[in-house]
Amino acid sequence: MSRELENSKISEAIPTLSKLLSNNKGAFWQSLINYTDAATTFNEMISLAAIRKKALKSGDIPMPSGLDSTLRIALIGGNSLYPLSSLLEHVVSLKIGRAEIFTGDFNNYRAEIVDTSSKLYQFNPDIVVLLPDNSICRYTGTINDLDEDIYKASESLGSDLFGLCSILQNEIGAETILCNYIPSPYFDLGPLRTRSLASDWNFKKLVNLYLGSKAPNFVHILDLEFLAYRIGGLASKDEKSFFESKQLCSPTLQVALAKEIVHIIEGRKASAKKVLVLDLDNTLWGGIIGDDGIDGIELGDTSPRGEAFKALQTYILSLTRRGLLLGICSKNDYENAIEPFRRHPEMVLREGHIVSFKANWKPKAQNLIEMANELNLGLESFVFVDDNPAEVENVRQFAPSVASILLGPDPSEYVRQLQDSRLFERSSITKEDLNRTDNYQMESARRSLLVSSLDMDSYLSSLEMVGTIKKFNKIDLPRITQLINKSNQFNLTTRRRSETELEDIMTNPSYTSFSLRLSDRFGDHGLISVVICRAVDDSVLEIDTWLMSCRVLNRQVEEVVFNEIVELGRTIGARKIKGFYKPTKKNSMVKDLYTMLGFDPVDSPQDSVEFELSIDAASHKATHISITGRE
Amino acid sequence: MDSLQDKVLRQLQEIFDELFLDEIIVTPELAATEVEEWDSLTHISLVIMVEERFGIKFRVGEVEATKNVGEFINIIAERMNRLDG
């Protein structure tokens, strides 16, 4: 969408919403959410916030479902936290749920954090947003000091802030969103600005580098330096508002800041996209392969347009190194569509990069649904990219959980559009991510082996599977967190947890948790199953979480995990093992798991089914997985 | 013909309608003390909204010194005139 269109749209926001408020209440909230996503100025956001409050006040428009949880957010820092708190409240209420917001006193954050009887502690936040004061982020020596001394000063500033965050983590159990510093956009110091590390410009960047690269996992860095750079240094500043009401930055940057806080909060538990599905004609290359032929399509370094398409392919290839899988969905005859992947010298993407290739004349939504079934992945982990609005509309209507990107008219903007979509962000990249395409390709090799094997038993035995069981540990934690927050199908209770919550579980003696890795003669699947058990009392071991990656379905991993849980129960002297099945839209595949393993259903509270197994009755399940390296 | 002051007053009414939940009739005589919602915090938002909407910048301390909407409008009008000229 062009900038002009967006502007004209947002300028109509208030009249449009006012109309909806009186005669189409059903459409009001979605429309408000869309306008809020598009809003960039303070005026727009405050007007939208006010109309939301009016709607709630009128009382006859219920909030949409899914937004009924409450999140307690504390804003503390070296500046005035209003109107940031208002902006934040508005965005949170439309994206996450009811927001209870605590605003700390002006520049009182140290006392608030250190004094465990402060109002901050009484408020008991889930999340603390800390905006440290600019005035302390200065190098106090001279401009000619040694670089080492200046580095040291920047590190001690950064580690001091981490220290405050760790108090919040230890005393309240809250995760912190820590904002970094905005380097001054003024010409002051001239050549020395870049020459000396002691300049405000360089020193703030040094501190920010330290904060970003050294942040412990309970600290989420909010990159205010980047946001300011994005909207422009001068546009980020408002000197008068600092003197009048101690504002940190310009109103426009505060809007971006509020949105970014919510983005980080949402991202903590959101599941990452796993599959990027691409159109071909006028998406990966210019022109129509079926009409123009392999010599006629625009791709590669001979023309500016061709270069732009090639750049898009190069960027997409880089996404596969972050663990994304690629699919093709194109209205074409297969033979035409595959030809450039095999023969065009300028193609960056090749057949081996694609895990599912759909070139046919079926509706694209249908192809995406089939692809999801084939890959055993949910549609909500799919991103669809096309230059044709009709195709994007088809997908939005018939496969609404797929995120789609409609490419604009100019291929030079394509890479930027993907980079700015915010769909491919990761807080960390695990080893499993790096090998994912290989894993899926191995899976096809395994499937062909299955066809040639006579029966399941000899197939499994031929795989030469090796499992490794380990208690949770720091190294595995990012991957464990990732699985806990994205596994939907083989997941008995679908309890999402942040890395910090899992760290607590690691050290809590009433929990016993383990993960399982699996490899076979085709390669390593990595860490694919996670179990969290809790000793309820001396006699009962309760299975709080049990999940498994679907790519190892039908490999007897369930049985191995079951054996291990029983073993755990015996070790702690439990007499019974309790398990739960909490049905969701996606986990029906494990509905009968406990029954199959010999558990008896005992009680069915409203939203889950409870199962029990007496330890004495539990039999060891024979499998073809040999267990090594248990610890 | 409308004076510039009248135009500013009308636009200010729009901003008030969007910012405040209660309906407030904006007049030159209106003062912050007469409006319950118009506290020191909403005042910050009001000033920012006016600056953005009119494309002007107030000087430090300037708005604080005004006693009512009429004086506020005068500063806005003066700043707009300087932009035009």
Residue B66's pLDDT is what?
A: 93
Cβ contact (<8 Å) for B45 and A41?
A: no
Cβ contact (<8 Å) for A46 and B45?
A: yes
Which residues from A are below 8 Å from B61, CB to CB? Answer: 243-244
Comparing CB atoms, the residue among A42, A80, A240 nearest residue B59 is: A240
Phi/psi at A477 (nearest 5 deg)? -55, -40
Cβ contact (<8 Å) for A47 and B60?
A: no
Give the residue carrying structure tokens 């994007």: A392
Distances (CA, A) of A284 to A123, A300, A305, A346, B85: 52, 11, 11, 11, 52
- The strand pairing partners of A157, in sequence order, are none
- The strand pairing partners of A76, in sequence order, are A130
Which residues from A are below 8 Å from B45, CB to CB? Answer: 42, 46, 83, 86
CB A96 within 8 A of CB A265: yes
CB B45 within 8 A of CB A83: yes
C-alpha closest to that of A227 among A175, A179, A178, A162: A179
Residues 6+ apart with CB under 8 A from A236: A182, A185, A227, A228, A249, A250, A252, A253
CB A442 within 8 A of CB A435: no
CA A333 to CA A338: how far, in whole Å? Answer: 9
Cβ contact (<8 Å) for B19 and A46?
A: yes
Residue of B nearest to A54 (CA): B21
Cβ contact (<8 Å) for A43 and B49?
A: yes
Residue A353's pLDDT is what?
A: 93
Cβ contact (<8 Å) for A82 and B59?
A: no
Residue B1's pLDDT is what?
A: 57
Rounded mean pLDDT, A422-448: 67
Torsion of CA B30, B34, B40, B42, to 10 degrees: -70
Mutation target vs A (from B15, B18, B43; most A CBs, 10 A cutoff)? B18
Residue A5's pLDDT is what?
A: 36
CA B30 to CA B28: how far, in whole Å? Answer: 6
Whether the per-residue pLDDT at B5 is higher than 60: the answer is: yes
DSSP state letters, A15-61 = HHHHHHHHH-HHHHHHHHHHHHHH--SHHHHHHHHHHHHHHHHH--S
Residue B16's pLDDT is what?
A: 95
CA atoms within 13 A on the CB side of A630: 9
CB A324 within 8 A of CB A275: yes
CB B70 within 8 A of CB B28: yes
CA A30 to CA A37: how far, in whole Å? Answer: 11
Helix H segments across A172-217? 191-195, 200-214
CA A126 to CA A172: how far, in whole Å? Answer: 8
Residue A603's pLDDT is what?
A: 75
Mutation target vs B (from A21, A47, A239; most B CBs, 10 A cutoff)? A47
Cβ contact (<8 Å) for A42 and B45?
A: yes
Whether the per-residue pLDDT at A2 is higher than 60: the answer is: no
Whether the per-residue pLDDT at A444 is higher than 70: the answer is: no
Which of A220-224, A391-395, A484-488: highest mean pLDDT? A220-224
- The strand pairing partners of A98, in sequence order, are A70
pLDDT tier for residue A6 given thresholds of 50, 70 and 90: very low
Distances (CA, A) of A249 to A107, A114, A205, A501, B46: 15, 26, 17, 33, 17
Whole-number CA gyration radius for chain A: 27
Instruction: Tell whether B1 is within 8 A of chain A (Cβ).
Output: no
Whether the per-residue pLDDT at A541 is higher than 80: the answer is: yes
Torsion of CA A411, A417, A419, A424, to 10 degrees: -120
* pLDDT per position as a tens digit, A138-163: 999 999 999 999 999 999 999 999 99
Residue of B nearest to A238 (CA): B57
CA A293 to CA A309: how far, in whole Å? Answer: 16
Percentage, residues of chain A above pLDDT 70: 93
- The 3-state secondary structure of A309-322 reads HHHHHHHHHHHHCC
Q: Which two tokens stand for residue A483?
A: 């699985």
Comparing CB atoms, the residue among A43, A239, A245 nearest residue B44 is: A245
Residue B85's pLDDT is what?
A: 45
Which residues from B are below 8 Å from A241, CB to CB? Answer: 44, 48
* pLDDT per position as a tens digit, A385-407: 999 988 898 898 899 999 999 99
Q: Model pTM?
A: 0.73
> First CA to last CA across chain A, in angstroms?
55
Rounded mean pLDDT, A219-244: 96
* pLDDT per position as a tens digit, A167-185: 999 999 998 999 999 999 9
Residue A452's pLDDT is what?
A: 47
Instruction: Tell whether B27 is within 8 A of chain A (Cβ).
Output: no
Whether the per-residue pLDDT at A454 is higher than 60: the answer is: no
Cβ contact (<8 Å) for B61 and A53?
A: no
Residues 6+ apart with CB under 8 A from A622: A559
Which residues from B are below 8 Å from A47, CB to CB? Answer: 18-19
pLDDT tier for residue A435 given thresholds of 50, 70 and 90: low
C-alpha closest to that of B31 among B74, B65, B76, B69: B69
Cβ contact (<8 Å) for A243 and B60?
A: yes
CA A478 to CA A268: how far, in whole Å? Answer: 12
Residue A448's pLDDT is what?
A: 54
Q: Which two tokens stand for residue A84?
A: 């940031």
Rounded mean pLDDT, A437-441: 65
Rounded mean pLDDT, A92-120: 92
Q: How far is B54 from chain A (nearest CA, A)?
A: 11
